[in-house]
Amino acid sequence: MFKIIETILMMICMIGIGAIISYRSSFQQEQRKLMITLIVNVAMPAMIFVSFLHFPKDNQFYFQLFIVFIFSLVLYMIAIMIGYFIAKWSGAQTNQVREMAVIGANGNTGFIGIPLCTALFGTKGTLLAAAFDIGLGVSLWTVGVFLLQPNSMVAKLNLKPLLNFPIITFVVGMIISVLHISLPEPMIQIFTNLGSLATPLALIFIGLMIPKLLQTWRFISLYYLSTAISVKLVLLPLITALLLSFFQMDPQMKLIILMLSAMPTGSMVPIVFAQFRRNVEFGASATVFATLLSLFTIPVLFLLSG
């Protein structure tokens, strides 16, 4: 329990640093794009790649990666359906119902989940979290995008975003691991140093978004926002815990899946909302406020899970 509290306190400090920086200097669109590029295309892939180099190679672990990937797909479908019906029940209009469903299903398993699992479970946590994140990415850019697109755009479903650096790195790392390919130590050190940037950059980036969103939150329906976030932070982890109770598997693997199901709304949500002309402020507010709330809900979940 001390480890999770220590990790959460570290996350709070990093997010706070980002918020302070944003208050003291403006955070422009170009700077935002640069940070996203560094995190998604450099630091995160390096962290995943190094984990493959350091983790023991065995068939049982590869099977665990596959199981976690499948769980990610299944949990996404469950979350989308539950989020959709709860949003309908809350009285939201059709467009907002779809947005709430996507918010409730998409967790920040990349920016927060991978660094958190690395801190708590080491390289095994990194790789299992990466497998879960890939499943979530596949789901977002297929089911999620299908839900957000107007009916006239269904035929234009774009799967190109699936070919991103984290997924490519995961596949390359898997191949190197299976073939037992060794790399020079200086190259490993370079990837290690780059991977160490992932956690602080991701958390500082979230902090940088806070001041601007605090200025616009009054234009967002807190009722619909809290409903969508509740599905993500409370309902989905409870359903995941119930589902996991029916399976016999490694306890640590169960805990990792449970933790990842409790991640706050993903940072890709407002980006996808912008791409398909949805309410970007609603998506961005969900990402930031769910992240802040998760600093309290994740330790509670960890404590209850034993």
Confidence of residue 219 (pLDDT cuts 50, 70, 90): low
Query: How far from the centroid of its chain's Cα atoms is residue 60's Cα?
Result: 25
pLDDT score at 166:
80
Give backbone dihedrals phi and psi of 107, rounded to 5 degrees, phi first.
-100, 155
Determine the Cα–Cα distance for residues 31 and 300; give it in Å rounded to an integer: 35
**HSE toward the beta carbon, residue 139, CA cutoff 13 A:** 28
Determine the Cα–Cα distance for residues 46 and 170; give it in Å rounded to an integer: 10
**With 90 as the cut, is the pLDDT of residue 50 above it?**
no
Longest dimension (CA), the chain: 59
CB-based contacts of 128, cutoff 8 Å, min separation 6: 64, 65, 68, 117, 121, 253, 256, 257
Tens digit of each residue's pLDDT (9 = 90 or more) over 127-151: 899 899 888 888 887 888 888 876 5
Tokens of 199: 């956690």
Greater model confidence, 286 or 1? 286
Confidence of residue 152 (pLDDT cuts 50, 70, 90): very low
Question: Are the CB atoms for 69 and 132 separated by under 8 Å?
Answer: yes
The CATH number of 2-304 is 1.20.1530.20
Determine the Cα–Cα distance for residues 178 and 33; give it in Å rounded to an integer: 35
Q: What global pTM score does this model have?
A: 0.81
Ramachandran region, residue 91 (left: φ > 0; alpha: ψ -120 to 50; beta: rest): left
| Residue spans of alpha helices (H) in the chain | 2-24, 29-38, 44-54, 59-89, 94-105, 114-139, 145-148, 165-178, 185-195, 198-216, 222-230, 236-244, 251-261, 268-275, 280-304
pLDDT score at 154:
47
Confidence of residue 191 (pLDDT cuts 50, 70, 90): very high
Determine the Cα–Cα distance for residues 42 and 194; give it in Å rounded to an integer: 7
**With 50 as the cut, is the pLDDT of residue 264 above it?**
yes
Query: How far from the centroid of its chain's Cα atoms is residue 130's Cα?
Result: 10
Q: What residues are paired with 265 via a beta bridge?
A: 107
pLDDT score at 216:
66
* Averaged pLDDT, 242-268: 92
pLDDT score at 155:
44
**With 80 as the cut, is the pLDDT of residue 102 above it?**
yes
Tokens of 106: 């998409």
Confidence of residue 36 (pLDDT cuts 50, 70, 90): confident
Question: Are the CB atoms for 262 and 109 separated by under 8 Å?
Answer: no
CB-based contacts of 5, cutoff 8 Å, min separation 6: 299
Confidence of residue 76 (pLDDT cuts 50, 70, 90): very high
**With 70 as the cut, is the pLDDT of residue 16 above it?**
yes
pLDDT score at 270:
80
Domains of the chain, by residue range, sit at 2-304
